[in-house]
Amino acid sequence: MLEQKGRTREELLAVRDELLAREKELTHRIDELRRQRRALLAASTRTPSTVGSR
pTM of the entire structure? 0.64
Task: Output the average pLDDT for the chain.
Answer: 87
Q: Which residues have C-beta within 8 Å of that of residue 37, sequence separation ≥ 6?
A: none
pLDDT band (50, 70, 90) for residue 49: low
Give residue 19's pLDDT: 98
pLDDT at 18 over 90: yes
Determine the Cα–Cα distance for residues 35 and 33; give it in Å rounded to an integer: 5
Give residue 46's pLDDT: 77
Give residue 53's pLDDT: 60
Phi, psi of 35 (to 5 degrees): -60, -45
Q: For the chain, what's the residue count?
A: 54
43: how many CB neighbours lie within 10 A of its CB?
A: 9
Residue scoring higher pLDDT (16 or 54): 16
CB 15 within 8 Å of CB 1 = yes
